[in-house]
Structure 1
Amino acid sequence: MLTISRELHDAIVAHARADHPDEACGVVAGPAGTGRPERFIPMLNAARSPTFYEFDSGDLLKLYREMDDRDEEPVVVYHSHTATEAYPSRTDVSYASEPFAHYVLVSTVEGTGPEDPFQFRSFRIVDGEITEEDVQVVEAYEA
């Protein structure tokens, strides 16, 4: 299960909406070994595409060096789908290289209903196998 703060959840959704109609992407880092997402890091979609996302290789290298310096790891890797449901595509699966990360997808497709204007779903992707997991949004993490 992914447990994520309301603040981080809302930041991911806001990023997805702001970058629409292009896909948004980013990382939420957390202290190594904790599995707790804490630091929101929106990234630029180098592909600038409504159907594909790509982290800029230089930005990604900088991010990993920064996380290493701060003793962090990528807890959540997120991106948006602008025309399809929030479910990993074959391309998404092929790029999933963090076996311990939660892969969050947000769909910004119009018309999913006023009660749920977007989909926010989380998956584990290991060796090409997709497993959906529950998402718990909390106001604050327990100490």
Structure 2
Amino acid sequence: MLRIDQATYDAIVEHAKRDHPVEACGMVVGPVGSDRPERLVEMVNAAGSPTFYEYDSTDLLHLYKELDDRDEEPVVIYHSHSATEAYPSVTDINLASEPGAHYVLVSTREHGNNEGPVEFRSYRIIDGVVTEEDVQVDAAVATLSPEASHEETG
């Protein structure tokens, strides 16, 4: 099960809506081994595509160096689907390289960047096997610091 605080949930949804129709992407990182999503890191979709996301390799390298320095790891890896359901594509499955991470997909297909609900789902993807998991949104799970809530690399 993915336990995520309301502020982080809202920030991921807002990022997905803001970038629609381009796929939004990013991570929520936390202390190594904790499975606690604590710090949102919005990434730029270098592909600029409504059907594919790609991290800028330089941004990703800087992020992983920072994570190493801070003893953090990706807890949630998220992106949006702007025209399809919130389910991992074959490409998403093939690129899933963090077996300990929760892979969150947000579908903005119904309302785009307008008011209205989104589809927010989480999966574990290990060795090509996709398993959906429950998402528990809790106001008390973690507290994002103001500078972390909208941190962006790039």
Q: TM-score per shorter chain, which class?
A: over 0.9
* Matched residue, 1:22: 22
Deviation sequence 1:31-57 (CA, Å, 0-9, x none): 111000000000000000000000111
1:105 matched residue in structure 2: 105
Name the Cα RMSD after superposition. Answer: 1.3
Q: Which runs of 4+ in 1 moved over 3 A?
A: none
Secondary structure (helix, strand or coil) at the match of 1:23 reads coil
Determine the structure 2 residue equivalent to 1:41: 41
The separation in 2 between residues aligned to 1:44 and 1:94, in whole angstroms, is: 20
2:134 aligned residue: 134
Within 2, Cα distance between the matches of 1:94 and 1:107? 19
Distance 1:31 1:76 in 2: 12
1:92 is paired with a residue whose SS is: helix
- Structure 1: distance between partners of 2:70 and 2:87: 31
Tell me the distance in 1 between the aligned counterparts of 2:141 and 2:107.
25
Distance 1:117 1:5 in 2: 18
Residue 11 (structure 2) aligns with: 11
Q: Summarize deviations over 1:6-40 as a string: whole Å, max 9, x none.
A: 00000000000000010000000001110000000
C-alpha separation in 1, matches of 2:29 and 2:137? 17
- Aligned to 2:137, the other structure's residue is in SS state strand
- Greater RCO between the two (CA within 8 Å, min separation 6)? 2
Distance 2:66 2:117 in 1: 34
Q: CA deviation at 1:110?
A: 1.6
Return the alpha-carbon distance in structure 2 between the equivalents of residues 124 and 58 of structure 1: 26
- CA separation in 2, counterparts of 1:63 and 1:55? 11
Instruction: Please report the TM-score for the alignment, with normalisation by the length of structure 2.
Output: 0.88
> What one-letter code is carried by the residue in structure 1 that aligns with 2:58?
G
Aligned sequence identity (%): 67
Name the amino acid aligned to 2:31. Answer: P
Q: Matched residue of 1:33: which SS?
A: coil
For structure 1, the 5+ residue unaligned runs are: none
Equivalent pairs counted in the alignment come to 139
Deviation at 1:117, TM superposition (A): 1.7
